[in-house]
Structure 1
């Protein structure tokens, strides 16, 4: 009976349907529960990430909403000084007297009477050329001169006795004059074979040797007078009205960088160079120590009349541009220091200072360093405030190098 009942249950669909339905419903419930857990986990992760991002955004917004602190700069004031204007240029040192000593007549070097670099006096013998043949010729010419003198003396005596004609006397007179001229010419040739210093100065490097044959005009040695030198330089046409004879000039040379040499304008060219429109100037300098040498490169400074109470500021404070120079002027706005860009016109510059021609007044406070980070109307902090007080900017005389 049991076997019959079991078989009847398997074979009866009406009995099996509710069982299968309950199993499927349980499986679905389990899948739904698992999916719900996964969705909840994803929601929790997404919510956490969103909260973290929200926190970061809030921090950034808070940071940007807070204004940055004012930039720190150093400041200085516009001061009035006694200023000595100058005109700068470059020039070349040249000798007042300088030549290459040479021979006028050809000959062989018989003796040398100088050393390279020696100091010599005017007329001192430098080189003797061989003159033995010339001296022998001179002796013959002197003998002919004496003979002509004897003939002339005898003919004059005979003329008083009317033993000779006047024409004979005139002929012997001419012969005597010719003999004397030949003697003088030969003596001049002998003298020219003694090469002497044309003026006092310092010799250069010897360029001849003993026994060497010198053609006419051969260079023997350079002779330069160094007690006084010239400096030749040029200035633009616009500076002509500021120049005059006797005006002071200072120079510096590379050989003596820590020393300044003072001189005076000795000559101003009456015409300008057509190509450059520059004016040539020559200044004279005493050179007792022989520190200045011909050919040196010189930085020249022509001194102009002193100007009283000229406004100057450090060059570091100026922003130089092709469209104009400017500074940042410091002004008190609502009790706070703020900057304003101010266009200025600058003049001459010397060392680390520059002249202000327009745009600022004495006592104005300007930014000395830190201009790059500034904009108009920006608030600033000033360091070294004690060094920026007005009493620290009292007028003083410009020290010259």
Structure 2
């Protein structure tokens, strides 16, 4: 029985060994076939051109002025001078609080001030005629000044009960009506200035030397698809954010129609100055790796065309093309499609028959 079991095990070993050997042979054969097979790729030449790079980023629309108007003093709302969403000018009345008691008190204080002034004037004549005491005159003058201060303080309180717009802008939504008791410091309405308006965003610190105040900026927002807003850099932060190693930037935009609103998410493009003789190629030709970026360059040989991997150093990206700082020369033919299946030295067959126009394929906008 043991002998039969041993023979069966030997037989099964021979069978499975043959199967695995045949599979291995087939795999080696297919690998060899692939190694000698020319891969079909599409290519584009490295170009030297006048180029205007753009730095993409995201930002937030911010008002030039924005406050929540509130009252410094408490009182009952007697008059409302605005509607929700209204546009106002600096000094326009927003809310009038009940000031009857304060006005009456101001009248009483004014009467006391006039009496103090008459008393001072009478004592002044008496002292000038050497008929009265100088100390009485000094006391009268001090009382007059105190009354003037009380009148001014009461008038300031009355003025505070007329809440006015501190600057030109657009109001938010009103949440109360006449008769509402407004506490000291209670919010009345939001007020923002919309023209001009800011967009705040950040750029990596490596671009700090390439940006300056007055540089052109283009913004797009989801609420206005396909519409571009053009502005300029208004300010650049003097310090770098430590957490992100980025520099805060503020751009200013004319906004006469109020299309940009505070809080909007914005796609921001900072336009860099145009440069000549910039070496570029389509961004999709680049293979990005942690150890370095590379491309496959097509070379002609005795046996046909092959590819060679070349390490490159990239720069700015704009409209689907990338700046090549080193590694390539204008005129070199690089693989743009099909490079994911390539290895160094592999034969290739170039087929560009199905490619669109080069500028369209790259998404390139011809420089003006």
TM-score for the superposition, normalised by structure 1:
0.74
1:382 counterpart = 2:350:
yes
Structure number with larger C-alpha Rg = 1
Which ranges of structure 1 fall in alignment gaps of 5 or more residues?
A: 1-60
Which runs of structure 1 show a deviation greater than 6 angstroms over 4 or more consecutive aligned residues? 386-390
* Partner Cα separation in structure 2 for residue 315 and residue 274 of structure 1: 30
Q: CA RMSD in A?
A: 3.1
Shift of 1:345: 2.6
Structure 1's 397 and 212: CA in aligned 2 closer, same or farther, altered over 3 A? closer
Kept after mapping to 2: 8 A contact 1:236/1:279: yes
1:129 counterpart = 2:90:
no
Aligned to 1:248: 216
1:165 counterpart = 2:111:
no
Shift of 1:212: 1.4
Shift of 1:94: 1.4
Kept after mapping to 2: 8 A contact 1:81/1:398: no
Aligned to 1:77: 45
1:334 counterpart = 2:334:
no
Aligned to 1:142: 110
* Partner Cα separation in structure 1 for residue 258 and residue 172 of structure 2: 14
1:272 counterpart = 2:236:
no
Match among 53, 60, 65 for residue 97 of structure 1: 65
Kept after mapping to 2: 8 A contact 1:330/1:366: yes
1:208 alignment partner, SS class: coil
TM-score for the superposition, normalised by structure 2:
0.80
* Partner Cα separation in structure 2 for residue 115 and residue 239 of structure 1: 46
Shift of 1:264: 2.7
* Partner Cα separation in structure 2 for residue 388 and residue 252 of structure 1: 28
* Partner Cα separation in structure 1 for residue 355 and residue 219 of structure 2: 35
* Partner Cα separation in structure 1 for residue 176 and residue 139 of structure 2: 47
Structure 1's 164 and 317: CA in aligned 2 closer, same or farther, altered over 3 A? same
1:313 alignment partner, SS class: strand
Aligned to 1:228: 196
* Partner Cα separation in structure 1 for residue 229 and residue 248 of structure 2: 20
- Superimposed CA distance per residue, residues 295-330 of structure 1 (whole angstroms, 9 cap, x where no aligned partner): 222233333332212122222223333333333322
* Partner Cα separation in structure 2 for residue 388 and residue 144 of structure 1: 92
Aligned to 1:311: 279
* Partner Cα separation in structure 2 for residue 101 and residue 320 of structure 1: 52
- Superimposed CA distance per residue, residues 66-93 of structure 1 (whole angstroms, 9 cap, x where no aligned partner): x987443322211122122333333222
Kept after mapping to 1: 8 A contact 2:200/2:251: yes
Q: How does 1:2-401 map to 2 (within 5 A)?
A: 70-334=38-302, 336-384=304-352, 398-399=366-367
Shift of 1:111: 1.2
